């Protein structure tokens, strides 16, 4: 079988002008797998994607809320709302859940195990994960359950997004969105050394620890530095 001549050398530099590193990496993996299958079918003799290096992973800056911003946000919500919306905000902060993961129909009372103090999350790609409930989140759900609500949170996704943006503006919190609550959960655990990277990754429902590291690399570097400096008191 004659080898097909195909030059992919310029693929990455050319596409970097339009697409993200992550998108290009996905495309290259698909191409690589496709050509390997073509080799198995004896359609080609050589994989033209072999040797083409994947672009380096991007370091994504995380916008998380600082403690003073959280308190300002709580204050504004309390001044303008019944406890209902404050409950969902605190729930995101205490679980790290994505927007739809705490909303009906993905999240119902059947997902809540009061006895074992944990919830079942239906995550991206139909992946399920359990998250333990701390006292703050547990008390919120107990109160809402005793109020005979049909589901823990019945907000529409778009309503939650627009409402939190409104309260950010009133609290003078810039460049933050609903997803920042999830990022605050992860960053707080790492910054305060409450959980290691692997645990945070599992709680957030990331497919790999590498994904978590990409988002929190700056915080992880700080923890590494603190750990090494801690040796000063020993040696």
Residues 178, 74 share a domain: yes
**CATH number, domain containing residue 215:** 1.10.443.10
Give the largest Cα separation in the chain, rounded: 75
User: How many other C-beta atoms lie within 10 A of the C-beta of residue 28?
Assistant: 19
Cis amide bond preceding 133, omega within 30:
no
**Collapsed DSSP state (helix, strand, coil) of residue 118:** strand
Higher pLDDT, 55 or 141: 141
Taking all residues of the chain, what is their mean pLDDT, rounded to a whole number?
84
Q: Which of 28, 58, 88 is the last residue of a domain?
A: 58
The whole-angstrom separation of Cα 145 and Cα 151 is 8
What is the spatial distance between Cα 82 and Cα 27, in angstroms, rounded to a whole number?
Answer: 48
pTM above 0.85, yes or no: no
Residue 1 pLDDT exceeds 70: no
34 and 82 together in one domain: no
pLDDT of residue 143: 97
153 has pLDDT over 90: yes
Check whether 15 has a pLDDT greater than 80: no
Q: Are residues 20 and 115 in the same domain?
A: no
Instruction: Say whether both 49 and 103 belong to one domain.
Output: no
**Which tokens is 148 given?**
């005979």
Instruction: Classify residue 233: in a domain, yes or no.
Output: no
Whether 234 is covered by a domain: the verdict is no
Same domain, yes or no: 150 and 207: yes
Do 41 and 77 lie in a common domain? no
pLDDT surpassing 70 at residue 204: yes
Q: Which residues contact 95 (CB under 8 A, 6 or more apart)?
A: 102, 119, 121, 131, 137, 185
Give the count of domains, the chain. Answer: 2
* Each residue's pLDDT tens digit, 101-112: 999 999 999 999
Class of residue 74 by CB neighbours under 10 A (exposed 0-12, middle 13-18, buried 19+): middle
Residue 105 lies in a domain: yes
Which residue range(s) make up the domain with 50? Answer: 1-58
pLDDT > 50? residue 4: no
Q: In sequence order, what are the residues at sequence separation of 6 or more whose Cβ sits closer than 8 angstroms to the Cβ of residue 56?
A: 21
Please name the helix (run of DSSP H) or strand (run of DSSP E) that holds residue 165, with its range, or none: helix 157-170
| Residue 138: inside a domain | yes
- 103 plus 179 within the same structural domain: yes
Q: Which of the two residues, 49 and 139, has the higher pLDDT score?
A: 139
pLDDT tens-place string over residues 17-49:
455 565 676 677 777 778 888 888 888 888 877
Residues 42 and 77 in one domain: no
Looking at the fold, whether 50 and 79 belong to one and the same domain comes out as: no
Residue 52 near residue 8, CB atoms below 8 Å? yes
Mean pLDDT of 4-11: 54
- Quote the CA–CA distance of 21 and 36 in Å, as a whole number: 22
Instruction: Examine the domain organization and report whether 42 and 73 are in the same domain.
Output: no
Do 153 and 128 sit in the same domain of this protein?
Answer: yes
Structure token digits, residue 18: 């339009």
Tens digits of residue pLDDT in 179-199: 999 999 999 998 888 998 899
Q: Is residue 235 part of a domain?
A: no
**Is 17 strand, coil or helix?**
coil
Of 77, 101, 97, 96, whose CA–CA distance to 87 is shortest?
Answer: 77
- Bridge partners (DSSP) listed for residue 121: 129
Residue 217 lies inside a defined structural domain of this protein = yes
Determine the 3-state secondary structure of 217 from DSSP: helix
Same domain flag for 14 and 101: no
For residues 226 and 50, what is the distance between their CA atoms, to the nearest angstrom?
41
User: Residue 151: pLDDT band by 50, 70, 90 thresholds?
Assistant: very high
């Amino acid at each position: 079988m004659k080898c097909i001549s195909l030059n992919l050398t310029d693929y990455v530099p050319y596409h970097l002008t339009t697409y993200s590193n992550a998108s290009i990496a996905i495309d290259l993996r698909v191409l690589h797998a496709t050509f390997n299958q073509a080799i198995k079918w004896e359609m080609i003799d050589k994989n033209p994607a072999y040797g083409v290096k994947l672009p380096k992973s991007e370091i994504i800056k995380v916008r998380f809320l600082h403690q003073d911003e959280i308190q300002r946000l709580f204050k504004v919500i309390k001044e303008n709302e019944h406890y209902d919306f404050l409950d969902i905000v605190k729930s995101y902060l205490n679980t790290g859940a994505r927007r739809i993961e705490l909303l009906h129909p993905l999240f119902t009372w059947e997902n809540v195990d009061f006895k074992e103090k944990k919830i079942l999350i239906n995550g991206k790609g139909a992946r399920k994960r359990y998250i333990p409930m701390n006292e703050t989140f547990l008390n919120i759900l107990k109160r809402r359950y005793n109020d005979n609500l049909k589901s823990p949170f019945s907000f529409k996704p778009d309503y939650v997004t627009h409402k939190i943006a409104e309260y950010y503006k009133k609290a003078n919190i810039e460049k933050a969105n609903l997803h920042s609550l999830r990022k605050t959960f992860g960053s707080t655990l790492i910054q305060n050394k409450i959980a290691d990277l692997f645990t945070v990754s599992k709680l957030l429902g990331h497919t790999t620890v590498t994904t978590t590291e990409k988002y929190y690399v700056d915080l992880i570097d700080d923890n590494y530095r603190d750990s090494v400096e801690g040796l000063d008191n020993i040696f």
